[in-house]
Structure 1
Amino acid sequence: MAVINRIADYAPEMTAWRRHLHQMPELGFNCHKTAAFVVEKLQEFGVDEIHEGIATSGVVAIINGTGDGPTMGLRADMDALPIKEATGADYASQVEGAMHACGHDGHTTMLLGAARYLAETRNFAGRVALIFQPAEEDGGGAGVMVKEGIMERFDIARVFALHNAPNAPEGHLVTTPGPIMAAVDTFTINVKGKGGHAAQPQNCVDPVVASCGIVTAIQTILSRNHHALDDLVVSVTQIHTGSAENIIPDSAYINGTVRSFDPDVQNMVERRLKEIVQGQAIAYGVEAELDYFRDYPPTVNDAAQTAFAADVARDVVGDAQVDDSIDREMGAEDFAYMLQARPGSYLFLGQGDGPVCHHPAFDFNDEISPIGASYFVRLVETGQPRT
């Protein structure tokens, strides 16, 4: 494993940075304390430019290489999740109801490690733009940064990102050209009936039974309206209604998610949801309203940049630990917006066995930080060699 020796030397400091960040999770666009820590470290490292307040709390830092050349973008997400931590770690979250349950503290640390090394050595041409992004989990911070013009403002030619992968072998780097993660849509259905005494249902219009009918009918979208060879997930994840066993409520709320890769599939699902909601509302005598929101688009890796990234990964961890043809998955990632704006690639870095992302017992594996930082560095040095 060809982790850069200098980065391995300050791995204990990277662990300290990561565990400090782990104790101070921030949600959505409100990553101000995290951004302040990032800026403090970047100033210590001696980067050339620091631009703050992008997408509310995002940071872009510029490191100039030696000689003319393009600008490569490297992105890390900074936000946490609204989950109560259950790791029992002595560096556990000090913010009630929030924790780094997806490893973004580790992603930020890896990019900081790369920044330190690149600022010290500058063994590359052109520039590198270090993108520290808020609101990946909710809010689409990557899309906001793109809309605020970071690609044009910093003349970024291509862009790369990493994500840790629980239960993948530690130190393995995996990716695939083309779609790697799905588009995500969300839907809510508000059902309005007429409440009353549970002993007198004939005097009520029951939204509970209607909601059950709607949810059951939604299951037919996948089984009867969808081509089996097109990837699709339709999941109802919330039903909220009622307050007591002897009361038929007035209303019910249904919420869910749709994961797909093809706009035609998205159109079909939205159409069928509207038809199901309207039809079931008539059948049960309730009023029902559907809200359908198209959120992150599919994450689509550029083929040429993915081949380049996989070659760099092999240089860092060895050929046996790289797979550049994994199956695409149904999770979503707002890095998709950056890949729509510029060619690039998204990779997963295995961190070994343990709880999955978004679990209250999840924790980032600090042993992989030097690997991720070395990968980021080699992308720059290999892609923009000094002449």
Structure 2
Amino acid sequence: MPVVNRIADFAEDMKTWRRHLHQIPELGLDTVKTAAYVTEILETFGVDEIHGGIAQNGIVAIINGQGDGPTLGLRADMDALPITEVRDLDYKSQTPGKMHACGHDGHTTMLLGAAKYLAETRNFKGRVALLFQPAEEIIGGAKIMVEEGVMERFDIKEVYALHNAPGLPVGHFMTTPGALMAAVDEFTINIKGLGGHGAMPHETRDPVMAACGMAQAIQTIVSRNHQATEDLVISVTQIHTGTVDNVIPETAYINGTVRTFNPNVQKMVMARFDEIVKGCAVAYGVEAELDYEVGYPATINDAEKAAFATDVARDISGEANVQGDAGREMGAEDFSYMLEARPGAYLFLGQGDSAGLHHPEYDFNDEISPLGASFFARLVEKAQPAG
């Protein structure tokens, strides 16, 4: 079964919604204009309930079906990124330094499209809860929504979400049972030595050499301290120090990311970081402070729900265009908090050749909005059939 005909009928409306959202990008929890626009659109559909102010500017909208039944949750993220858009689009970002470089404008649009269809047809039992979430890129808006009790308050039994995928052919779906994306942690190391003249290093305690030593030692965690069959990525992404060629600075700063799936591997990494930073500080005669911040947990699909969602995707795009055992990747996603709270699944939807996610030339492909909306709509109708 391809795109739902009724959803195809308002594909141009969806394009209008998406391109308006693209012009008003907002960051983190501060999605005031975005939430107001989403609420305005939802009100025209005649949904049964709209609850705002969740996780500051998140929204939960309820659509009642035919008769008693469970509540199924569908989530879309709404926030943008602090990136300057470089393409000169007619609907280019109107806020300098901010843009929808990850397609959350498209995710919100796909869920709005499903909402319009479901509110019109109501061809399902129970209820559907539409979760419009801020702050996926930072902070973890999904965690905040869960902590504020959305699952219990709206009696949500299972949850699903989609993310666009540049490079995957248009209309192709991809997911996997179990672990899909990694847990993400962040580390920062502040080093304090004794600065001095570059010609007299013996009179200093050089934080530059300490930073280089720590960065190299940190890489041995992957190569020497963990079992190769367990996925682990540690990337030092920033080293900041110094101002001029003939001065040894007093301080240095190291920052980076850690990606894991196994909590035991994560614990090992944390322990080794502590040992390496303390040991290098002694070896180089400097002071060093480690700040290791545990971030989003691994995104783990419920195997049964992932198989069900894969079947729904096949209804939309056909057997050949759906991969239900695609394996896992080292990216991260705060939908993981919702999957910890309730069984469900997260899927990728191909948007064809385009700039990559988080790139200043990225733009969501409006061609896939009806596909995503049809997936959400059929998911509800198949999970909670009215007949």
Q: TM-score per shorter chain, which class?
A: over 0.9
- Partner Cα separation in structure 1 for residue 169 and residue 151 of structure 2: 34
The yes-or-no answer on 1:298 pairing with 2:310 is no
The yes-or-no answer on 1:11 pairing with 2:11 is yes
The yes-or-no answer on 1:137 pairing with 2:142 is no
Deviation readout 1:124-183 (Å, 9 max, x if unpaired): 110000000000000110010000000000000100000000001110011100000000
TM-superposed CA distance for 1:265, in Å, is 0.2
Structure 2 counterpart of 1:168: 168
- Partner Cα separation in structure 2 for residue 276 and residue 144 of structure 1: 33
Deviation readout 1:25-79 (Å, 9 max, x if unpaired): 1000001110000000000110000000000000000000111111000000000
Q: How does 1:331-370 map to 2 (within 5 A)?
A: 331-370=331-370
Structure 2 counterpart of 1:152: 152
What percent identity do the matched residue pairs reach? 69
Q: TM-score, normalised by structure 1?
A: 0.99
SS in 2 for 1:352: coil
TM-superposed CA distance for 1:102, in Å, is 0.5
The yes-or-no answer on 1:325 pairing with 2:310 is no
SS in 2 for 1:300: strand
TM-superposed CA distance for 1:96, in Å, is 1.1
Structure 1 counterpart of 2:62: 62
TM-superposed CA distance for 1:249, in Å, is 1.1
SS in 2 for 1:237: strand
Structure 2 counterpart of 1:92: 92
Deviation readout 1:276-304 (Å, 9 max, x if unpaired): 11111111111011111111000000011
The yes-or-no answer on 1:208 pairing with 2:201 is no
TM-superposed CA distance for 1:199, in Å, is 2.0
SS in 2 for 1:356: coil
- Partner Cα separation in structure 2 for residue 206 and residue 298 of structure 1: 38
Deviation readout 1:316-355 (Å, 9 max, x if unpaired): 1111111100010000000000000000000000000111
Structure 2 counterpart of 1:26: 26
Q: Which residue type is aligned with residue 151 of structure 1?
A: M
Q: How does 1:62-141 map to 2 (within 5 A)?
A: 62-141=62-141
- Partner Cα separation in structure 1 for residue 194 and residue 6 of structure 2: 69
Q: Which residue type is aligned with residue 221 of structure 1?
A: I
Give the root-mean-square deviation of aligned CA atoms: 0.8
Structure 1 counterpart of 2:184: 184
TM-superposed CA distance for 1:206, in Å, is 1.1
Q: Which residue type is aligned with residue 247 of structure 2?
A: I
- Partner Cα separation in structure 1 for residue 96 and residue 250 of structure 2: 34
SS in 2 for 1:363: coil
Q: Which residue type is aligned with residue 328 of structure 1?
A: R
- Partner Cα separation in structure 1 for residue 363 and residue 232 of structure 2: 29
SS in 2 for 1:280: helix
TM-superposed CA distance for 1:18, in Å, is 0.7
Moved over 4 A (4+): none
TM-superposed CA distance for 1:87, in Å, is 2.2
TM-superposed CA distance for 1:16, in Å, is 1.0
TM-superposed CA distance for 1:311, in Å, is 0.7
- Partner Cα separation in structure 1 for residue 117 and residue 336 of structure 2: 27
Q: Which residue type is aligned with residue 306 of structure 2?
A: T
TM-superposed CA distance for 1:310, in Å, is 0.6
Structure 2 counterpart of 1:237: 237
Q: Which residue type is aligned with residue 266 of structure 2?
A: Q
- Partner Cα separation in structure 2 for residue 15 and residue 245 of structure 1: 53
- Partner Cα separation in structure 2 for residue 229 and residue 343 of structure 1: 27
Question: Relative to structure 2, which stretch is displaced further, 198-207 or 375-384?
Answer: 198-207
Q: Which residue type is aligned with residue 132 of structure 2?
A: F
SS in 1 for 2:367: helix
| Consecutive unaligned residues in structure 1, runs of 5 or more | none
Q: Which residue type is aligned with residue 205 of structure 2?
A: V
Question: Number of paired residues?
Answer: 387
TM-superposed CA distance for 1:307, in Å, is 0.9
- Partner Cα separation in structure 2 for residue 345 and residue 261 of structure 1: 17
Structure 1 counterpart of 2:307: 307
TM-superposed CA distance for 1:88, in Å, is 2.3
Q: Which residue type is aligned with residue 134 of structure 1?
A: P
- Partner Cα separation in structure 2 for residue 96 and residue 271 of structure 1: 41
- Partner Cα separation in structure 2 for residue 91 and residue 201 of structure 1: 55
SS in 2 for 1:99: coil
TM-superposed CA distance for 1:250, in Å, is 1.0
Q: Which residue type is aligned with residue 160 of structure 1?
A: Y
Structure 2 counterpart of 1:270: 270
SS in 2 for 1:190: strand
- Partner Cα separation in structure 2 for residue 247 and residue 106 of structure 1: 50
